[in-house]
Structure 1
Amino acid sequence: MSRQATLDLIAAYYDAFNRGDTAAMEALLADDFEHHVNEGDIRRGKAAFAEFNRHMTDSYAERLTDMVVMASEDGARAAAEFVVNGEYLKTDPGLPEANGQRYVLPAGAFFAVRDGRIARVTTYYNLSDWTRQVSQG
């Protein structure tokens, strides 16, 4: 896959995210997709990611801004840096109580791409910063 095709793939993934179109996001994934996050277990497979998306849609309203996407020359790897602009809608177990608090959180992700599909997303954000923001709100 070319570098440009990978950049377009990642842009489509995040465009779908910002539209709230989780089905479109999931359609861009490899069948053996893995979702790695800095806090939590690895989710393996599209079904696990779809379940995660349902939970996130219930608990959070988020829009990503200030997006910068980079890709390797061969298109096999990519990275994105962005700002999460969110609202905490429903209490997530083990986290502070939700009451519509807003937050702005820098974040990033790394991607593995295979056969025109996203094979892995590794997402990073500062949970302490998020917790501080929603605890003050």
Structure 2
Amino acid sequence: MTAQTLIAAYFDAFNAGQTDRMLDLLHDDVEHHVNEGGIRRGKAQFAQFSRHMADCYRETLTDMVILSDASDQRAAAEYVVNGSYLKTDAGLPEARGQTYRLPAGSFFALRDGRIARITTYYNLADWIRQVEK
């Protein structure tokens, strides 16, 4: 599977709400670097994060562009997050079902045909402005 095919499958699973399918695409030692947060290591921490996100947010990613290097060991994706804020997340504004549209990007390292690192970036201040309306 090429890097672009692997990343596309990961995001297809995300959009379908299929966390188990996402986990199948991750390396056992995956590192998940979160925007303005720490690093989650391993599939168990990634799964826990995914459950939390599903409780608080409903998101679909659109306008996806996926790029990869010639070695198929690195990839990047740019996309738009279209979401609804369902349940108040600790330290963030109160959730009232607000919707948001937010440009974002992710960087990936691949190892053994799996995703070994995910680093995601978005503008948190922009998201806060959108949900505080």
State the TM-score bracket (shorter-chain normalisation): over 0.9
Structure 1 segments, 4+ long, off by >2 Å, are none
TM-score, normalised relative to structure 2: 0.99
Gapped runs of 5+ residues in structure 1? none
The CA deviation at 1:44 is 0.4
Q: Does 1:93 align with 2:90?
A: yes
Which residue is 1:114 aligned to? 111
Does 2:5 match 1:8?
yes
1:10-49 alignment runs, 5 A limit? 10-49=7-46
Match of 2:120 in 1: 123
Aligned residue pairs total 133
- Counterpart of 1:61 in structure 2 is 58
Distance, in Å, in 1 between the alignment partners of 2:95 and 2:131 is 8
Q: Which amino acid aligns with 1:58?
A: D
Which consecutive residues of structure 2, in runs of 5 or more, have no partner in the other structure?
none
Supply the AA of the counterpart residue of 2:84: E
Structure 1 Cα separation of the partners of residues 10 and 116 of structure 2: 12
Tell me whether 1:50 sits opposite 2:47 in the alignment. yes
Cα distance in 1 for partners of 2:59, 2:35 equals: 18
Q: Return the alpha-carbon distance in structure 2 between the equivalents of residues 95 and 39 of structure 1.
A: 13
